[in-house]
Structure 1
Amino acid sequence: MIEESGRVVRLESETVWVETIKQSACAGCSAQKGCGQSLLAKIGDGKRLEIQVDNPDQIAVSVDDQVLLGVGERSFLTASLLVYLLPVVAMFIAALMVQIAGFAEPLVIVAAVLGLIGGFLLTRIISNSMTAHCSYRPVLLQKLN
């Protein structure tokens, strides 16, 4: 289970809204000064995110409580593959099909762009259906204070 702490900001019937602060692991890395990823991480570092969290165990919490959230590793890996891999694979397949059909390079490029866009749309459709499953949403694990 991947865990993150946060603060309860709002309560609804079966749902808890929790604010987390995006933090990068770059601060503890020795290669921080020479790494391009460190520069990208600083852009969103410290940004506050408000997310909807399921409370399946009906843990009693109130606004401003510190809580621990969790997401299953398998769900996280599946969602990551969907978001990062599916659009690229769709782009590659579209470009390859047009290339094999014998079209000129400009059309192959257009097909690749359309495949990428189609991959993003397919990712959106699949992710919307995945959000209906509780295993893909963060859950409230415990109250910290």
Structure 2
Amino acid sequence: MIEEVTLVSAVEARMVKVMAARTSACAQCASKSNCSQGVLSQWGQGKTVEIEVQNPDALPVKPGQQVVIGLEEGSLVRASLLLYMLPLALLIAGALLGATLALAEWQQIILAIALMLTGFGLARRLSSGRAAQNRYQPILLRIV
């Protein structure tokens, strides 16, 4: 479970709105000062984002309290695969199919791009159902 400490901003029935600071993996890295990626990651840090999280245990939270929210690692991996790998795999499949059919180069490019866009559409459709939305949404774990 990936966990983050956040601040409650609003409470609704089974949903809680929390303010979370944007962080990157570089924040915990020992060599962040010697790495150009660490310098780039500092640009977005310090900004906060409001997130709606589920409160399945109906914990009695109030605005201003610190809480721990969590997201299953498997959900993050599935979402990443769906968003990145599906369109990439279809892009490569389109390029290979175009080459196999001996299409002109411009036709191969169009076929590959069309299949990649189809992959993005499929990813959106697969992640927009109610079950998928619940799977990819963080939950409230405990009050700090």
Are 2:120 and 1:120 equivalent residues in the alignment?
yes
Deviation readout 1:83-136 (Å, 9 max, x if unpaired): 121110111112211221110111111222222222111111111126545332
CA RMSD of aligned residues (A): 1.8
Query: 1:53 is matched with which residue?
Result: 53
Offset at residue 42 of structure 1 (A) = 2.5
Query: Which position in structure 2 is the counterpart of 1:64?
Result: 64
Aligned partner of 2:17 in structure 1 is 17
Give the structure-1-normalised TM-score: 0.87
In 1: Cα distance, 2:108 partner to 2:130 partner:
32
1:37-81 deviations in whole A, cap 9, x for unaligned?
A: 324423322221111100001100011111100111111211111
Please say if residues 54 and 140 of structure 2, whose CA atoms lie closer than 8 Å, have aligned partners that are also in contact: yes
Query: Residue 33 in 1 paired to residue 53 in 2?
Result: no
> In the alignment, which residue of structure 2 is the partner of 1:88?
88
Q: TM-score, normalised by structure 2?
A: 0.88
Rounded to whole Å, the distance in 2 between the matches of 1:21 and 1:31 is 18
Contact 2:20 2:49 (C-alpha < 8 Å) held by counterparts = yes
Unaligned runs of 5+ in 2: none
Contact residue 23 and residue 46 of structure 2 kept, 8 A: yes
Question: Aligned pair 1:102/2:122, yes or no?
Answer: no
Secondary structure of the corresponding residue to residue 43 of structure 2 = helix
- Which residue identity lines up with residue 30 of structure 2 in the other structure? C
CA distance in 1, matches of 2:32, 2:42: 14
Match of 2:53, as an amino acid? V
Q: Which moved more, 1:14-23 or 1:106-115?
A: 106-115
Specify the SS of the correspondent of 2:129. helix
Tell me the matched-pair count: 143
